[in-house]
Amino acid sequence: EAQVTQNPRYLITVTGKKLTVTCSQNMNHEYMSWYRQDPGLGLRQIYYSMNVEVTDKGDVPEGYKVSRKEKRNFPLILESPSPNQTSLYFCASSGGFGYTFGSGTRLTVV
């Protein structure tokens, strides 16, 4: 089954403790992206990657890092999480005409 898999689904952490949210796709898509969803703001793009070793900032990249060492994986790294990064995060991949989204990671930073 074609899918985008994110882990974990839920995460509660403390301010400043580094964390990684993993994302993997099995569709051989070149394009992958991370979004955060906040009430009233919709889905805002954090980072995207057009291919392996090619990443670029989206609209809200501050406080986040990504890497794309292989085509299927696109982890999101929060080096020093802060409470304003409490949000619902979605990973997505695309083969050209729209995104396939993962199920989301709800992150709470206390």
Partner 1 sequence: DQQVKQNSPSLSVQEGRISILNCDYTNSMFDYFLWYKKYPAEGPTFLISISSIKDKNEDGRFTVFLNKSAKHLSLHIVPSQPGDSAVYFCAASVQNYGQNFVFGPGTRLSVLP
DSSP 95: S
Which residues between 59 and 88 bind partner 1 (CB under 8 A)? none
Give how many residues touch partner 1 by CB under 8 A.
25
Binding mask 6-45 toward partner 1 (x if CB under 8 A, else -) reads -------------------------x-x-x----xxxxxx
Taking CB under 8 A as the criterion, the residue among 13, 52, 58, 77 binding partner 1 is 58
Backbone phi and psi for residue 59, each to the nearest 5 degrees, phi listed first: -85, -30
Q: What is the spatial distance between Cα 18 and Cα 72, in angstroms, rounded to a whole number?
A: 23
**Which residues are bridge partners to 33 per DSSP?**
48, 92
Nearer to partner 1, 57 or 79 (CB): 57
Of 15 and 51, the one with the shorter C-beta distance to partner 1 is 51
- Pairwise CA distance, residues 1 & 3, whole Å: 6
**Span near partner 1 by CB under 8 A; candidates 11-19, 65-73, 74-82, 91-99:** 91-99
If you ran DSSP here, which 8-state letter would residue 16 be given? T
Q: Which has the closest alpha carbon to 59: 75, 84, 35, 31?
A: 35
The footprint of partner 1 (CB under 8 A) covers: 4, 31, 33, 35, 40-45, 48, 50, 58, 90, 92, 94, 96-104
